[in-house]
Structure formats: structure tokens, C-alpha cells
Structure 1
Amino acid sequence: MKNKPILFGLFFALLHATSTKGADPDDGSLTINVDAGKDTDSFLSLAEAIEGKQSLIDDQLAKSTAVATPQKRSAELACEKITNDLRSIGESTFDDLPYSVLGLYSDNQSKFCRGALIDKRFIIMGASCVSTHNVEGVSFDFDLESKKIKAVHIHPDFSSETPSLNNIALIELESDVAYTSKWYPVCLYTSQVNSERYLMGLYGEVRIVADAECFNRTGTDLKPSQICATDLEFLITYTGWPIYLVQENFPTHKLFGIVARNTTNSVPFVITKVFGHLNFIKGIVWPKTGN
């Protein structure tokens, strides 16, 4: 206990004071008359009481510090690992969107679905892209060998009757994707606050607009996990396409959300924000990490 030196210092000072009993009161020295046996017991009892109170205070301070410093989310820890892994392989220059998935295939038939790699074995995309198809593998934009699919995890609350809600799925691969400057996972945007930074789709800027613009088009109120946006440069935006937050520092992009429904001619569309589904993602991709 850090207060012990002070307590015992005071104790020995009192003992020393007893030795001055009988000194000349006119010589300027301090004289304290104590019953050494009785007062020593009282002092030790007081010291123990103070130490007990101090222990309670220390415990409360430790609990307060723990509350004030929450654990990092699993997605944040994963982002740190991605950054460290890329540094460890000595990469310093990277392609524009090295996490883009081109499509899915089954029985030698291709299905055009965009997605994004978020872990060595997991891809995120729209649930509507895989809910009615048995897919076997994944193809990529770059010179990367196609990968076989181990499992498809569709959000448990997704329904084709309300395709703009919970339109999110995770594709689990049979084997890891090796990190290179052309291919590595994207970090997830883990803030509840909508960033005012530049958002982009695969072909240009995406701008957040008033929820009323999506309501006027669909007649449905947006949920907290949704946001209304419009593509400023591309005429068609497809369901499941990733929407990225552009940053000045590395990682250059973070995955902000995915398109919940197709749109044409720059008509406002709904984005499913990944923040609203972090628990679903964590439970499948990072089940053994912290909050």
C-alpha cells in the first residue's frame, strides 16, 4: 500500500515524541506526553482502519477506469492486425480497391455480385445475392485464383419480402487468401456517427441525402441501421455493392455499408450500414475475440 510509509512514519514520530518526556520546556523542543502502550494500540487500530478505507477507494478507482476505457471492438482489433500484417510483408503501395470480389459461380454459371473481403476467409455482400442461389465459388477482380465456398451465412432477419432490411450475408471460404498489395481485407467502419468524409462506390462518389428521398421512392421509413444516398457518377448501383469511406491515412478505405437494393439513373438508394450489424459479423468472423 502506497500510504504505508506515511502511516509508519507518523507512528515512529509519535514514539520519538515520547522520548522527549522530561526535557526542558524552555529549550524550544516539542514535548508530547503519551502512554506508549495504550496509544500505540490506538494508533495501530487507526492505521488499519485508514488502510481499509484506502483499499476501498483504490478498488472504486480501478472500476471507474475500466468503465471509462472500454475494450476495442473485434472489427477494430482485426483492422490493427491487417495493418500489422501488411507492414510485416513489406508492402508500401497498394491497388485502389484490393478487396473487391467480382462474382459468384455455381455449376460453371457465373452470377454478377459484388462483395468485399473483410478477413482472410470471409467476404461480405448483399443477402439477396445468395439467398436464392446455391453458390460454390468466388471469383476476383485481380489475378487471384478462384476460391471454393465453405458456407454462406445469411442474416437471420433477412427476408425477400423486405429486401432493404438486414440485406447482408457473409461468404466463408474453404482456405485463406494470402495478403499482397493487390489483395487484402478491408477494415470496417465501426462508428455509429455517419462520417462527413467522402463516400464512394466502385465507380465514384456517393453522397448521403435526406432519408425522406428514399421514403418518397419506397414508402418505407429507414431503420437506424440504414441510410439514404445517391450515386453521383454511375447510372446503375447494384444490390450488395460495397460503399467505402475514404480516409487520408492508411487504411485508405473502410467499409461503410452495402447497397440494399438496385437503383438506376442516380435515384436515391438505401445503404445497409455495417455498424448496425457488427454483432452478426463478429459472431461468425471473430467469435473468439473481445467486444
Structure 2
Amino acid sequence: MSLPKIPLAGVIGSPIAHSKSPQVHGHWLSTYGIAGHYIPMDVSRDDLAEVLRALPKMGFVGLNVTIPHKVAVMELADLVTDRAILIGAANTLIFRPDGKIHADNTDGYGFLENLKTGAPGWKPRSGPAAVLGAGGSARAVITALLDAGVPEIMISNRTRVRAENLKSDFGSRLRIFDWVQAGNMMDDAKLLVNTTSLGMIGKGEMRVPLDGLRPGTVVTDLVYAPLKTRLLETAEQLGCVTVDGLGMLLHQAVPGFERWFGQRPVVDRATRAAALR
């Protein structure tokens, strides 16, 4: 009698040693008693295509994808979801039994779930959202917010042309502010999202004026190192509802784990603790 194959999944990127995904998925595998493994793999751009062809033959059922491969994997996949196409990047791959590679992006899902959990009183239709940054994370956030029904998204980026590219892709519900005017977005915003690396350990500080923030405005930062950024600290002092960035990392991992291992995991305190180990 042949034994069932042990399902394998992992995360590919370069560098990869900093990834918290192995801690999160390892915790879930242990919690649910699943005989599987989740492995971090440092893969160079030159080896990407060869690695993606080889892994399914070795028992891999899927992967998370991080920098610098989130765009390149879309070209190597057989099927790409609409939301991954809209965002322009994929972070989750499923190796299907028929041999096809299915690419998806769960960042927007993770962002919204984190927001719902951390700020249950926030209603998408309650008013405009302000987004700082115009990179790949901003695209995922904007896609999720527009789908959820946010009436207007104000966006500001240090390089204005990148914000203009987003407006041309996403349309009239986006309004651009010059970076020096970014503080003016706070007056009307019901939600403020930082998608830049400003405030992250080793990066520049967030210098956008925040005095326009009002008590009750929801403020979330995609940066989670440190867990409480200066943006969140200041927003808290102003009476805002703050949501840290770790939850997005945890929630975006849920759909992939469910597809690969057949169990929908729950994001709880123990999951957060596992990520922070």
C-alpha cells in the first residue's frame, strides 16, 4: 500500500530570510495537525522558471511569492485571476493536479480582512479614503477599497507620475494630491492608509503633517516593523482608531493555506504570536 504524499508549500523571493510566512504557516500546520511542510526558498530571477517547473514534481502544491518575483510569476503562470491582473502582481500560486499553475493576489483580501477585524466600526461607504504611496501594495489596497464601495480615494506619492498612472488605471474615483499637499487629504478622510515604506525600521521617517486627522478616523499602516509606527502612535494620540500592518500579512495567507492544505485557518492571537516569534 502506497503512503499518501506529504503536501509541500513555501515562499520564494530574494532575499527571503526575513519572511515571517514560515512561522505563520508552520503554526497553522501544527495547530491543525496537518502532515505538511512550508519552506522558505531564496530563488534568483535567472532560476525562477526552472524552479517553478521542478517544484510540483517534488510534491509542492503551491507557493507564496514575494519580491522580486511578484510580476514575473504572472508571465510563467497558465491561469491568472482578474484581481492579480488588475493589481499587476501575484503573491499566491497554486500548482493544480492537471499541471497548470494558477496565480492569484490575496493582498487586497488580507488588507480588508485586517481592517474589518481591527476597526469593525469602519464602513466603506462612510467617506473618502486617503492612500499614501503608489506602488504594488497601493494597487492592491485601491482595488480592495473600490470593490468594497469606498466613494473616493485620495492618493499622494513622492513621485506624482506614479499616482497619475494609478488614476489612469482605476478611473475617476481617484483624486491626486501632490506630496507636499498630502496633509490636506486628512481633513475629509474617514480612512488613512500608508502603503509606503516610510516609518519602517531602517527607512526614512513619515513626515506628512497629520494634524488634519480627526478623532475616530481609521488609520492603518502596512509597515509592521515596528508594529507601532510613529504614524500609528501619532494617530492614537489624536483619538484615531489604529490598525497595525501585521494582520494584513496574516489574513493574506489564509486563502493560500486553505487551497494547499484543505483547511481554512483562523487568524487569532496565537497566530500573531507565532509571527512575532
TM range (shorter): under 0.3
- TM-score between the two structures when normalised by the length of structure 2: 0.26
Larger helix fraction of residues: 2
Larger strand fraction of residues: 1
